[in-house]
Amino acid sequence: MPSLKEIKTRIASVNSTRKITSAMKMVASSKLHHAQVMIENMLPYETMLEHILKTFLASEADASNVFTIERPVKRVATVAYSSNSSLCGGFNANIIKLMQTVAAEYEALGKENIVIYPVGRKVAEKAAKLGYPLGGDFTELADKADVKQCIDLARELGTKFVDGEIDKVELVYHHFKSAGSQILTRKTFLPIDLKSELTKDHYRDLKSTVATKESQEYLRKRDAEQHASSPRMLDGKPLNDNFIVEPDMNTILKALLPKYAHLLLYTALLDSIASEHAARMVAMQTATDNADELLRGLNLQYNKSRQQAITNELLDIVGGSVNN
C-alpha cells in the first residue's frame, strides 16, 4: 500500500495535469467559436453561389465544362486536411487512415502517380514516411485559414487537371456539423459533379459548444433522423424565357466553376479547423473528467490511509498504557 507522502505527491501531480487540460479546453473553446464565426461569415457567399449554379443546372441539364469532364485516371492527387499539433483525440489518426485507404485504391497506378497535398504537419509527416510525393508545404493553412492560399492551391490543381497532369483530385477532411459531431468526409474535388455536390447536406450547428460524450451521441442520432426525414433537394428553378444570359450560359459557367472550386477548398479548410478545435475541446474535457475521477479516488485513498495511521497510533498508545 502506498504511503501518505506518495499519495499526496500523486494528488498534486494529477491536480497540475487537470489545470493544464482545463486551460487547453478553454483555449480550444475560444478558437472553436472563432472558427464558427468564420464559417458563418462564409455561408451567404456559399448560399448565393449554389443558388446560381442550381438555377443554371435546372435551366440546362447538359451544362458542362472542362472541370466537369471525367477521364481515365492515370495520376491522382489527394488533398488531406489534418492539424499541426496533437491532443485532439482521433482527429489526425482518422484522417491518416482515410488517406491511406484512398491511396490503397489507386495502388495499381504506383506511388509516383499518387500525389499528396498535405494541409497540416501530421498528415505531411505520415505521407512522406509512406513514400508518397508531396505537392507542397501547406502547414501554415492548418493554423490560419488564408483565402489567397486556398485560391492559389485550387488554381494549381485546376491548371494541372486541365493540362492532363492530374486526372482526378480528392479531398479528405472532417465536415463540421456541430461541436459534438464531426463527419469524416471523402469528396471528389475534380472533376466537379455539380448535381451531387449541390444536393449534399451542408447543415452546420454554429451556435452550440456542448462537447460531452452524451451530447455527441445525441447529436449524431438527431442529425441522422433529420436527414432521413427531410433530405436536401435541388431547389433551383429554370430561368425565365425572357431572361437573357450574355454571352451564353456555358461561358458564365466557365467563370463560376473556378470560383466554386475555390469555395470547396476553403470550406473544407474551415470545416477541418473547426473540427480540430472541437475534437481537442472534447478530448480535453474527457481528460479533465478523468482527472476529477482520479482525484476523487486518490483523496478517498489518502483519507483512508490517514485514518488508518491515526487508528494504529491510538492503538499503540492505548496498548502501551494498558501494559504499563
Tell me which residue of 175, 179, 174, 173 sits closest to 216, measured CA to CA.
179
Q: Is 88 a catalytic residue?
A: yes
- Using CA atoms, how far apart are residues 177 and 314, in angstroms rounded to an integer? 62
Is residue 84 helix, strand or coil? coil
Q: Whose CA is closest to 157, among 191, 125, 132, 120?
A: 191
Q: Which of 14, 88, 124, 278 is catalytic?
A: 88
For the record, the C-alpha cell of 249 comes out as 450560359
CB atoms within 10 A of CB 89: 19
Q: Distance between CA 90 and CA 286 in Å, rounded?
A: 13
Neighbours of 71 (CB within 10 A): 10
Query: Rounded distance, CA 122 to CA 82, Å?
Result: 6
**Pairing label, strands 76-81, 114-119:** parallel
Give the largest Cα separation in the chain, rounded: 116
Q: Which residues are catalytic?
A: 88
